[in-house]
A and B are shown apart, each in its own frame.
Chain A
Amino acid sequence: MSDFLLELRSEEIPARMQAGARAELEKLFRREMDAAGVDVGDITVWSTPRRLALIARGLPDATQPVSSEEKGPPLGAPDQAVDGFCRKQGVSREDLEVREVKGRETYFAVKNIPGRATKDLLAEAIPAIIRDFSWPKSMRWGEASRSTESLRWVRPLSGIVALLGEELVECEVHGVTSGWVTLGHRFHHSGDITIGSADDYAEKLRACHVIVDHEERQDIVRERAAAVASEAGLKLVKDEGLVIENAGLTEWPVPLLGRFDEDFLDVPPEVIQLTARVNQKYFVCENADGKLANAFVCTANIEAADGGAAIVDGNRKVLAARLSDARFFWELDQKTPLREHAKKLERITFHEKLGSVADKVDRVAKLAEWLTSDARAPNGDHNLARQAAELSKSDLVTEMVGEFPELQGLMGGYYAEKEGLPQDVADAIRDHYKPVGQDDEVPTAPLTVAVSLADKLDNLFSFFNIDILPTGSKDPFALRRAALGYLRLVQANGLELSLEQAAQAWGGLGQAKLGTRVAEFLSDRLAVQMREEGVRHDYIAASREWQGHTDARTDRIEARARALAEFLKTDNGTNLLAGYKRAANILKKEDWLGIEGEIARTGEEDPLALVDDPDMKAVVDAKMSERHARELSYTPEPAEKALIEALDAAEPQASQAIEKEDFAAAMSALASLRAPIDAFFEEVTVNDPDEDKRASRLDLLARFRAAVHNVADFSKIEG
């Protein structure tokens, strides 16, 4: 048993890739060892910016010999068959043994694969691991890069240490050969370090100012950063992302506390924190009162002779320059009221076919006003909603947002407060981009909801109106995100918003069709969203029609799909679905269209008109009741009669429930049809030789199907 050490040394590996690289190294190592039949126990994987290391404890010195026997063709089989068998088994014909199997002489390939030295296996495995290693981005380098076939690695690979016990595992990958030698800290140690085995690896590196265990470095960053802050009477603002990043940027982390000029604290804390974190990877600190302090913690990679004074001073200067930029913007922007900034939006093209951002703002303001005044959305003041919408994009032309685009909205909110605008207007400006991501909070404040919805709706309507739709992976105007934002706003606020009406409010009465197109797109997104929580997409498909049209209300589609999902979890639901499928199949086979078809057959109306013309509903209804009222020419069988009665009862119940959008009640009305339809199929022959009976029964099935369709389009349900 021996321990194996592998170190892959390279130029600096990006901090964000190190965790993935550790997992990849372990995965590939296990893959290689599994394939070679080597038992692998505990594996430790470490990373620093300049190396990936793997230690596998207790590897066997050799693999077990394996013997196998494969039965081949019988003696006297055609040469082709025998040769093929040999090829497949990787043996020559002379090596085949002949044995008797059930009285037939048969060829056997008997292979005794001797155990192999683990060292030899590793020598083959290491190049395979390196070649197959998958990095988020990889590169070629140096003389070898004359060919595009040269080795790819995250940054140039410069050394391999591979030791099994105390022995070198000799291997070579694209000119890099394995050895005992590695390097220590870039500045604290010069010259080679010779590693003896897995046992002394970490300690030898530590002696040369490299802490190879990333978790230990993370602990140091976490604890020392907090310590230097508390030594100064401050509290570190915790940021685990920064801990990991700084540990990934250093081999010898030394957190140091610095101060910046107190005057910078006039700038909003988000701006300071963003500047410090994103640009400089610094932690920030709070005073005892929880307010941001004029201090930062940077993480150096050296133990400087002067205790880090020069480093802190250098970092202070950099931060000062950044904050000075930020303060310059902060002050400059406030000299102009948001309403003045808004004028500059005229100069910015939103999209060449959609006019300027100012034009967009006008549209958003109109929609926000409609949303509030029509009380379809929240109960906000429509004048304030308009005001918030009109100012919502003003911060885009401020210097601060020009510099830190991720502060859009937030800065508008700050500037609005500074101007003394009403708080809910400032809030709406600040939060109107929300929800952005999957986990982002969804606004509920009335004005914010109105402006946010209006903004998203305008994006959807505008781009759909000029036929710019997301295709495949391309969605340059983030319409899918706008759609998801819309859906979540509607869900979180329980809104019942018709996209047709919204489109008309947006672009005039002629735009109802646009509303329908957007509604279709939103239903698709709704299906994606609900699939993630386990609601099948075909339930959405079954719920997308409302009174013969695409339903323009996503909340209603969702409610119906959810009720359907619940219903189909019950026995009644699944059995009714089965009955429905059976009825639908018979009708399809018989090409029986029922009442609606009869109208078509008799040429009274174009059947396609049914889809679009709401007036036809009255005609169909009239026909239906006429037909239902008609006496049967024969005495119905009991199950037939029972189904008719059940339909007579269920139809109005379901219709009323649908009218009230109580889908659960509609489904339970359908549930009452389950037993009668089952019994009907059990006891009644549809294809009766009596043409009249057959027609009546097919009509009855058509009526059943129509009753079900009235609740949801079961034909869309798969399986």
Chain B
Amino acid sequence: MILALHDFWSAQGCLILQPYDMRMGAGTFHTATTLRALGPEPWNAAFVQPCRRPTDGRYGENPNRLQHYYQYQVILKPSPPDIQELYLKSLEVIGIDPLKHDVRFVEDDWESPTLGAWGLGWEVWCDGMEVTQFTYFQQMGGFDCKPVAGELTYGLERLAMYIQGVDNVYDLNFNGGTSSSSEAVGRERRVTYGEVFLENEKQMSKWNFEVAETDALFDLFNKAEAECRNALDADVPIAAYEQAVEASHLFNLLQARGVISVQERASYMARVRDLARGSCEKYAEKMAPAWKEKYPEWSL
């Protein structure tokens, strides 16, 4: 499936990139999305990004909720006029027939106060299941996107469930093997998603919700915050951005541990926002002269 998407988007002129090597809640955090959404340069890229959402963990007991899963991200800047058609073609490429399955664009605007970003778009439904988030970025890091980028985020597990017709994510056939017998060897032997990830989900859910030492998490959060500011002061906004991503994940872990109240939540979010937004801003400001040189019409 990933290979089919790579083929398809590569043929549309996308660079094929690799995942960002940090814990993050969504592919949107990848610098290939956030930072590249800034500035005037065209940018078309596709990549897989593992995502961690501690609060979504269900100890492996829910058929389609996971605290760790994979997103396929496509970013097209500027957004091409036929972006919806391209997207629908990509669904057909991975085996979804829109005359058999009900594919719908349902309003879902995206807003990430954390990133000082927002966009309008839809969640794409396939028979009632959200399989893709489709967003036209309007602002990033508090700056207007000029031009606007279109972002497609496929939920790979969910799409695979449709294509394979299974009810439970852990039953997904991971390798296309045909035999479930323990005697089978090589390509024949079917390996399920559960065999790969179930134990991981169980243990990580437990850690996220019950085990993780909250004082240490608070401490790490504060340290990431300090380091982000340090990097900003040193004018290395990409490094600062990484610390903001780290802080954001730590905040999610603290949420999962249930130690942040509704009221405090707002203040933590504001702190993460200041970091992420500050990094994006700094990045845009640092890059602006070079962008201006190439695109004299453009301004931040």
Residues on A close to B: CB < 8 A?
11-12, 14-17, 49, 137-148, 154-156, 158, 186-188, 249-250, 280, 282, 298, 300-302, 304-306, 310-311, 313-315, 317-321, 324-325, 328, 344, 347-352, 356-357, 397, 476-477
Given contacts A12-B105, A139-B120, A349-B261, is CB(A298)–CB(B128) below 8 Å? yes
Of the stretches B60-68, B185-193, B222-230, B274-282, the one at the interface is B60-68
Chain B 140-158 against A: per-residue CB contact (8 Å), 1 yes, 0 no? 0000111110100000000
Asked if A16 meets B107 with Cβ closer than 8 Å, knowing A148-B146, A187-B99, A328-B61, the reply is yes
Bound state CA distance, A319 and B78, in angstroms?
36
Of the A-B pairs whose beta carbons lie under 8 Å apart in the complex, a sample of 6, sorted by A's number, is A140-B138, A141-B78, A146-B78, A304-B99, A304-B100, A315-B128
Q: In the docked arrangement, what's the CA distance between A159 and B144, Å? A: 25
Cβ of B167 within 8 Å of any chain A Cβ, yes or no, is: yes
Interface residue count on the B side (C-beta < 8 Å):
55
Residues of B at under 8 Å CB distance from A? 40, 58, 61-65, 78-81, 84, 88, 98-107, 109, 119-122, 126-129, 136, 138, 144-148, 150, 161-162, 167, 258-264, 266-267, 295, 297-298
B208: min CB distance to chain A, Å: 14
Q: Are A348 and B261 touching (Cβ within 8 A)?
A: yes
Given A11-B105, A142-B147; A188-B99 close (CB under 8 Å)? yes
Q: Which of B79, B100, B127, B298 contacts A315 (CB 8 A)?
A: B127
For B145, give the chain A residue with the smallest CB separation: A145
A11 in contact with B100 (CB, 8 Å): no
How far, in whole Å, are A146 and B98 apart by their CA atoms in the complex?
Answer: 33
Beyond A140-B148, A356-B261, 12 additional pairs, beta carbon < 8 A: A12-B106, A144-B147, A155-B136, A301-B104, A302-B102, A304-B99, A314-B162, A315-B127, A315-B128, A318-B129, A321-B62, A348-B261
CA distance A186 to B105 in the complex (A): 11
CA distance A477 to B162 in the complex (A): 43
- Chain A residue at minimum C-beta to C-beta distance from B98: A187
Instruction: Assess A350 versus B297: contact at CB under 8 Å? Given A11-B84, A311-B102, A325-B62.
Output: no
Closest to A356 in B: B261
- Smallest beta-carbon distance A359→chain B, Å: 11
Whether A324 and B62, one on each chain, are in contact in the complex, defined by CB atoms closer than 8 angstroms, is yes
Instruction: Tell me the total A-B contact number using a CB cutoff of 8 A.
Output: 151
Q: Which residues of A contact B126 (CB under 8 A)?
A: 314
A304, B96: Cα distance in complex, Å: 13
**Chain A: which residue is nearest B259 at the CB level?**
A347
A154 to B295 Cα, complex, angstroms: 28
Contact partner of A302 (CB less than 8 A), chosen from B64, B99, B109, is B99
On whether the beta carbons of A142 and B63 are closer than 8 Å, the reply is no
Q: Please give, as numbers and ranges, the residues of chain B lying within 8 Å of A324 by CB-CB distance.
A: 62-63
Q: Cβ of A325 and Cβ of B261 under 8 Å apart?
A: no
A323 to chain B, nearest CB (A): 11
> Are B65's CB and A321's CB within 8 A?
yes
Beta-carbon contact of B61 and A317 below 8 Å = no
* Chain B residues whose C-beta falls within 8 Å of the C-beta of A304 in the assembled complex: 99-102
Complex-state Cα separation, A351 to B109, whole angstroms: 30
Q: Are B105 and A314 in contact (CB under 8 A)?
A: no
How far is A146 from B120 in the complex, measured between Cα atoms in Å? 17
A349 touches B148 (CB 8 A): no
B294 to chain A, nearest CB (A): 12
Q: Contacting B147 at CB < 8 Å: which of A143, A306, A310?
A: A143
B117 to chain A: closest CB distance in Å? Answer: 13
Smallest CB-CB separation from B150: which chain A residue? Answer: A141
Q: How far is the CA of A186 from the CA of B259 in the complex (A)?
A: 47
Q: How far is the CA of A138 from the CA of B122 in the complex (A)?
A: 14
**Residues in chain B near residue A49, CB distance under 8 A:** 105
Q: Are A325 and B58 in contact (CB under 8 A)?
A: yes
Determine which of A146, A310, A320 lies in contact with B146 in the assembled complex, contact meaning CB atoms within 8 Å. A146
Which chain A residues lie closer than 8 Å to B40 at the CB level?
146
Name the one of A186, A318, A356 contacting B127, with C-beta atoms under 8 angstroms. Answer: A318
Nearest-Cβ distance from residue A141 to partner chain B, whole angstroms: 5
CB proximity of A261 to chain B, nearest CB, Å: 11
Cβ–Cβ contact A141 & B129, under 8 A: no
Q: Which of chain A's residues has its CB closest to B124's CB?
A: A12
Residue of B161, B262, B266 most packed against chain A (CB within 10 A): B262
Residues of B within 8 A of A352 (CB): 263-264, 267
How far is B104's CA from A550's CA once the two chains are assembled, in angstroms?
59
Q: Tell me if A147 and B107 are in contact (CB < 8 A).
A: no
A148, A306, A356: which has the most chain B beta carbons within 10 Å? Answer: A148
Contact between chains at A350 and B263 (CB < 8 Å): yes
Q: How far is the CA of A11 from the CA of B262 in the complex (A)?
A: 36
For A249, list chain B residues within 8 Å (CB).
104, 106
- A148 closest partner in B (C-beta): B144
Residues of B with C-beta under 8 A to A356: 261
Q: Given A321-B62, A349-B264 in contact, is the A146-B147 Cβ separation under 8 Å?
A: yes
Expressed in whole angstroms, the Cα–Cα distance for A141 and B100 within the complex equals 31
Does A139 contact B128, Cβ atoms closer than 8 Å?
no
Return B135 CB to nearest CB of chain A, in Å: 10
From residue A115, how far is it (CB to closest CB) to chain B in Å? 39
**Most chain B C-beta atoms within 10 Å of own C-beta, residue among A148, A187, A298:** A187
Chain B residues in 8 Å Cβ range of A311: 100-102, 127
- Nearest CB of chain A from residue B13's CB, rounded to whole Å: 15
**B189 smallest CB distance to A (angstroms):** 27
Q: Which residues of B contact A143 (CB under 8 A)?
A: 78, 147
> Is B81 within 8 A of A142, CB to CB?
yes
| A305-B99 in contact given A280-B128, A348-B261 (Cβ < 8 Å) | yes
Contact A142 B79 (CB under 8 A): yes
Contact A314 B128 (CB under 8 A): yes
List A contacts of B106 (CB < 8 A). 12, 249
Max chain B C-beta neighbours (<10 A), residue from A317, A320, A350: A317
Shortest A615–chain B CB gap in Å is: 44
Cα separation A311 to B88 with both chains bound (whole Å): 17
Closest B residue to A319 by beta carbon equals B128
**Residue in contact with B148 in the complex, picked from A139, A305, A314, CB distance below 8 Å:** A139
Give the docked Cα–Cα distance between A448 and B67 (Å).
39
Query: Chain A residues near B88 (CB, 8 Å)?
Result: 186
Instruction: Give the CA-CA distance A325 to B297 in the complex, in Å.
Output: 52
